[in-house]
Amino acid sequence: MNTSSIKLKLLLARVQKGDPEAYADIYELYIDRIYRFIFFKVSNHEEAEDLAAEVFLKTWQYLIQPESKVNNLNALLYQTARNCVIDFYRQNNKRELLPGDETLSRIEDKRQQKLLIEIEAGIELEKIEKHISKLKDEYREILILKYLEELSNDEIAKVLEKSAGAVRVLSHRALKILKDIINASEEI
């Protein structure tokens, strides 16, 4: 993430003092990422919206507790998102990500849709989404966090409750498997 860590720390400090505007800034910085992270787990835009909303509300409630100690907002938000998805699966008895939905229909802005249809990247997007959906959740999660959301290994370790070493190994393994899937599909 490109936003300076100082800016985030300042925002966090203001939020912990109960500043709603600071939290609104955090929302703007993170909403797309949290939504995306959840979306790749639940594969449904309405559910992703609901869960993303829940993440921001829960995070606020946590941050304004006097006893809360947060050093890393990135990790907190993704951890909360992950927990919300786990609870969601438990309550709804649902399986995890199902492949196959039309990617382009999820990109709501019609102008974006048209543009993507017109350029090759649109087709590539659909392909990569299909490929990534074939991975098991653990691998998919780590690739999204590391390469899409650009979290550090330490941050990912906090989110996934693993060691940084395990994250390194897993991300390497996940990338290899994804590469194999892509190569296999290109050979067909």
Partner 1 sequence: MHLKKSDRETIKKIKLLNQITPRKEWKDSFRALLISEIKKDACRKEKISLIQYTGIFIESFRLKLFQPAVSILLVMVLFLSSSFIVNAAFYSMPGDNLYDLKIALEKAQITITFDEGKKAELRMDFASNRIKEFEKIADLSTPLEQQQAVAVVTKKFKEDVRSINEHIFDLDQKKMPVFSLAKKVDAKAAEMAKNLTANRTKLSPTIIDQVEKAIDEAVLSAEDASDSAFKIAINSYDEEENISDDEVSLMIQTRIEKIEEEIKDIKDERADAVKERIENAKARLSENNLRGAADDLDLAQEIIDSMAEDETTENQEQDQVSLITPTTTINIGQVLGEATSTVENAVETTQILIEIK
Which residues lie near partner 1 (CB under 8 A)?
Answer: 18-21, 23-24, 27-28, 31-32, 35-36, 39-40, 45-46, 48-50, 52-53, 56-57, 60-61, 64, 91, 103, 106-109, 112, 116, 121, 124-125, 127-129, 131-132, 143-144, 147-148, 175, 178-179, 182
CA 91 remoteness from chain centre: 21
Please tell me the distance from the alpha carbon of residue 39 to that of residue 171, in angstroms, as a whole number.
Answer: 20
Crossing angle of helices 5-16 and 73-92, in 10° steps, is 70
Residue 84 CB, nearest distance to partner 1 (Å)?
A: 13
Burial 73-97 (b: 16+ CB within 10 A, else e): bbbbbbbbbbebbeebeeeeeeeeb
Closest to partner 1 by CB, 6 or 100: 100
Q: Which residues contact 52 (CB under 8 A, 6 or more apart)?
A: 31, 34, 35, 38, 81
Tokens of 74: 């990135």
Nearest distance in Å: CB 103, partner 1: 7
79, amino acid identity? Q
- How far does CA 175 lie from the centroid of its chain? 17
> Cβ closer to partner 1: 6 or 93?
93
Q: Least distance to partner 1 from the beta carbon of 50, Å?
A: 6
CB 67 → partner 1: shortest distance, Å?
15
Query: What minimum distance in Å lies between the beta carbon of 9 and partner 1?
Result: 20
Of the pair 57, 86, the CB lying nearest partner 1 is at 57
Q: Closer CB to partner 1, residue 131 or residue 158?
A: 131
Closest by CA to 1, choosing from 154, 148, 183, 187, is: 148
Comparison of 142 and 159: residue with beta carbon closer to partner 1: 142
